[in-house]
Structure 1
Amino acid sequence: MFKEFKTFIARGNVLDLAVAVIIGAAFGKIVTSLTEDVIMPIIGRIFGGLDFSSYFVVLGEVPPALVGSSDYAALKKAGVPVFGYGAFVTAAVNFLILAFIIFLLIRLVNRLMPKPEEKPVAPAVEPADIALLRDIRDELRQARANTMPSS
């Protein structure tokens, strides 16, 4: 069983997938930082100093120590049910940025990769029965044309 597992792991696509997951996780952290630390503050500044992560609606009872608090993370940590639509907006912007960056990377890779050479395709050999039917058709047309009266 160990040998079979070793063979499975040694396959190229499994190793490629593992590398992709590790790089993807690191890349996700970079994009998250870009979104939260660079883009969202700029968007917040443009729209009047908004910090989207602090936009939420409290849906339940707030502990006395946190009454009047606008700290989303503290309320969430205390177990208060909150509807964090600002965090969702941040996550949605994060996703759009990530999707656009991946689109640009794939587009770049497709341009850099050599295109496979197209081999000339030999014409398919026509089956004998099709050739025979075509000959019969042509002969019938010719015979009909010869028997038609000319005007």
Structure 2
Amino acid sequence: MFKEFREFIARGNVLDLAVAVIIGAAFATITTSLTEDMIMPVVGAIFGGLDFSSYFILLGPVPQGYAGSLSNYAALKAAGAPVLGFGQFLTVVINFLILAFIIFLMVKMANKVIKKAEEAPAEDPAEVVLLREIRDELKKK
């Protein structure tokens, strides 16, 4: 069983998938930062200081002993208050749309490069060119 597992792991597809997952996770972190630290503040500034993450609906009573602000989504959530965080959800949806658009652009660019490579005439290796030249010289003699 260990041998089969080792063969499974050694296949190129599994290793490629592992690399893709790791790169995808790193890319998601970059996209999250792009959304939260660069895009959403600009959107907030355009709409007059709007912070989507602060939009929520309190669905039940605040836990006893809570002394924080009733307008702080993160603090209410951490305290265990039942909140419907539609602003945070909107931020995550925008994050997803940005990520999907970036992936679309990357796939589009990769398809263009692949198509260009397929259309380009295949060049012969230097050895083949040299052998042709030798053949042509021998034919002349």
Smaller-chain TM-score bracket: 0.7 to 0.9
Amino acid in the other structure paired with 2:99: L
Matched, 1:115 2:118: yes
Once the two structures are superposed, the pairs formed by residues 1-150 of structure 1 within 5 Å of their partners are 1-63=1-63, 64-66=65-67, 68-113=69-114, 114-115=117-118
- Residues 6-49 of structure 1, C-alpha deviation per residue, up to 9 Å, x if partnerless? 00001111111000000000000000000000000100110110
DSSP-derived class of the 1:61 partner: coil
Aligned-residue sequence identity (percent) comes to 66
The number of aligned residues is: 117
- The runs of 5 or more residues in structure 2 that have no matched partner are 121-141
1:112 & 1:3 partners in 2: Cα distance? 39
C-alpha separation between the residues in 1 aligned to 2:74 and 2:37? 17
**What secondary structure does 1:115 align onto?**
helix
After TM superposition, the structure 1 stretch with the greater mean CA deviation from structure 2, 64-73 or 93-102, is: 64-73
More helix by share: 2
1:44 maps to amino acid:
G
- In structure 2, C-alpha distance between the alignment counterparts of 1:82 and 1:57, rounded to whole Å: 6
